[in-house]
Amino acid sequence: MHTNLAELTPEQQDFAAAVADFCRREVGTRAQRDALTDHGTHSHSQELYRKMAALGWLGVTVPEEFGGSAGSTVDLCILLEQTTRGMAPIGGIGPTLITGAAYEKFGTQAQKETVLGGIVEGRSQSISMSEPEAGSDVGALTCRAEKVDDGWLINGQKTWCSNAHFADNILLVARTDRSGAKHQGLTMFHLPADTPGLKISGIDTMGGKEVNDLYLTDVHLPADAVVGEVGNGWTQLMAGLNTERLILAAMMLGTAQRAFDDALQFVTERKQFGRPVGTFQAIRHRVADLATEIEATRLLVYRVARLVDANPGKLFPREASMVKLKATEVAKKTALEGMQMMGGYGYATEFDMEHHVRRTIVSTIFGGTNEIQRDIIGKSYGL
């Protein structure tokens, strides 16, 4: 549960408690998680995801018009913090909600009904930007979409696409015009995952089956597949940064807290030289530093969430980058320090700490590397 409960409404406290209780019941043991993920091979359990959908949680920020509860960004952060702290194997939730936010802002009524309504029902969504030669430099992407009489013809390759292997739809960013600056001429497309000409190929990673290469060969999409405005994809991507970076931060906050919880339990129970190892000053100070960093991160996450709620439509590039940077760095540090405090046991797959390490290391890379976040923050101060 949150330690800053005073800042949550009674309803939000009840929501946090309900999600935490659900995770304890459904995935509170390693055996339960292994059964849902093929012993950790998969990061997403559709079975568990649909149970959460049935409780109405996946539509926490979806407008009521599409079956959601129209909750706040704070509500969303509560859900993400508690599910990751509970180690619920629903890795698809982050990309799904990031994608959904783009459709909510720019999609047509029909697109919203398909995607936002699908999210509420427990369907997963994906967004595809990166390419082999366009990672941090999104403006360098070359996957091309050409206008034809009855719609669009798309050819190219995308990579690092989360969720694509189980998503219903992919929000594809492709180049529709090469005549202007590199950030001009980008367009978002609604791409059903079963569209002919689309090949989805998994990439093996430390975290298991999470991301994919996409190969698009003469993929035909109808004219109404455009999401938002033709050529305005870059601006539309920028409009989603508040949500994207807060989602990633809230998830890593929960993961950091779980890594801390596991490490604290271990150093409290593990004895060496006749007493719990946590009572030695070197460990005690390490625990104190991590606890302080996590609490500072939590305050930052919810402060930025409230800022976004109070200023709908306003971009907060500095704050969004700060929260993503802080949460992911703290999560990675907590997991690595937890492994060190647990010694060999932290490295053993019998315990969850090595899982926390694998999960947090990549967090400083995805969603805009932390080097890029630092660059954005620095530029916001005129540097």
Which pLDDT belongs to residue 107?
Answer: 97
Question: Does the pLDDT of residue 308 top 70, yes or no?
Answer: yes
6 pLDDT band (50/70/90 cuts)?
low
Which pLDDT belongs to residue 183?
Answer: 87
Mean pLDDT of 258-276: 96
Amino acid at site 272:
Q
Q: What percent of the chain has pLDDT over 90?
A: 90
180 pLDDT band (50/70/90 cuts)?
confident
4 pLDDT band (50/70/90 cuts)?
low
Mean pLDDT of 217-241: 95
Question: Does the pLDDT of residue 243 top 70, yes or no?
Answer: yes
Which pLDDT belongs to residue 11?
Answer: 95
Residues 6+ apart with CB under 8 A from 104: 62, 63, 112, 116
Q: How far is CA 251 from the centre of its chain?
A: 7
List pLDDT tens digits, range 189-210.
Answer: 999 999 999 999 999 998 888 9
Residues 6+ apart with CB under 8 A from 7: 302
Short-list 355, 364, 252, 243, CA closest to 305: 243
Which pLDDT belongs to residue 5?
Answer: 59
Residues 6+ apart with CB under 8 A from 252: 84, 327, 328, 330, 331, 360, 363
Question: Does the pLDDT of residue 229 top 90, yes or no?
Answer: yes
> What does pLDDT average to over the chain?
94
Mean pLDDT of 141-155: 95
